[in-house]
Amino acid sequence: MRFVTDDGATKRNSKRTQMKKQTAVIILALMTISCTAVQYGSIGRQIHRGAGTFTFIDQRGNPNKPISVWYYQPSGFKPDTQVLFVMHGAKRDAQRCCDEWIQYADHYGFLLVVPEFSHKYYPGNREYSEGNMFDKKGNPIPESDRAFTVIEHLFDFVKETTQNRSSSYVIYGHSAGGRFVQRMILFKPDARIRMAVAANPGVFVFPVYSEKYPYGIRNSGMVPEDLRSAFKRNFMLILGDKDVSDDDMILSISSEALEQGDNAFERGINFYDSAKNEASRLGMTFNWKLTTVAGAAHEDAELAETAARVLFLDDTD
């Protein structure tokens, strides 16, 4: 049997094949751009109205430690809408924290951002709630790789993707998240925090040079001017007066922690009194406040309503 070749058909088929290849390349490129946007936030807007999640890669810090971020943008969002970071506890349950705070975001109209510092990349207290300030040998970790700095970089990303013009943010944390916030107030003097609330931290860094870090500020690298700046911060400690049971939390029982008090509530009272006395002794302005919630134990839900009012209504006067 004899076959006849149609050169025109062959050329048309060749062109079709080439076009298909080019289309495949374009689709692949678009997919790559899309993935880049999801991971890096450099292309497109990641935060939209309602609830959502995205992965934040801190290219200005440590890009090898991705942060999952849950958020909620209420209706009526404006360029000057305030941004609230909520710091999760030791369970690293950022999604639960986000769900719990959505009602307050709707009520007060703030943009809710809840980053998750996973056990994989921030495995222990030192890496997460203590801010990742020092390595296991006690050597200082570069500022760009500290957990506190992630919040600053994430704030810039949130502003960029939502076209938010806020010059500062508010931050709240409960339990291990409260420890994070309390330490950030002390050790991140350039943080753009308008107001910070730490709830039921349980263990503290007392702002005194008589105690060694991580229970005091001796050997922490903190100088008196840093302490002066910290005391001027708009910071509030919220304590549940029933947060007195070891069963309610993983309460540190080290000898240094026990010197702070027998339970979380007692430690919080002692921490605040110590800070106030130290500021007075050094002749420094002291803007910190303390409030207690009657009947509240070690549950974020029991303190969140009070914290939201403090942060957005300032009705404590």
Query: Are 161 and 32 contained in the same domain?
Result: no
> Do 78 and 182 have their domain in common?
yes
Backbone angles phi, psi at 134, to 5 degrees: -135, 150
Rounded to whole angstroms, how far apart are CA atoms 305 and 299?
12
Q: Are residues 27 and 164 in the same domain?
A: no
Q: Is residue 3, in this structure, part of any structural domain at all?
A: yes
CA neighbor of 300 nearest in space, from 83, 96, 52: 96
- Residue 32 is part of which domain span? 1-44
Are residues 62 and 94 part of one domain? yes
Alpha-carbon distance values, 172 to 21, 87, 89 (Å): 52, 6, 11
Task: Indicate if the alpha-carbon torsion angle 46, 103, 154, 311 is positive or negative.
Answer: positive
pLDDT reported for residue 251: 57
40 and 60 both lie in a single domain: no
Q: For residue 246, name the pLDDT band (cuts at 50, 70, 90).
A: low
Number of alpha helices (DSSP H) and beta strands (DSSP E) in the chain? 8, 8
DSSP string, 90-130: TT--HHHHHHHHHHHHHHHT-EEEEEE--TTTS-STTTTTT
d(CA 133, CA 118): 17
Helix, strand or coil, per DSSP, at residue 232: helix
- Residue 123 — pLDDT band, cuts 50, 70, 90? very high
pTM across the whole model: 0.84
**Residue 2: pLDDT above 90?**
no
Quick one: pLDDT band at residue 58, thresholds 50, 70, 90?
very high
pLDDT > 90 in the chain, percent: 78
Residue 263 maps to which CATH number? 3.40.50.1820
Asked whether residue 317 is assigned to any structural domain, the reply reads no
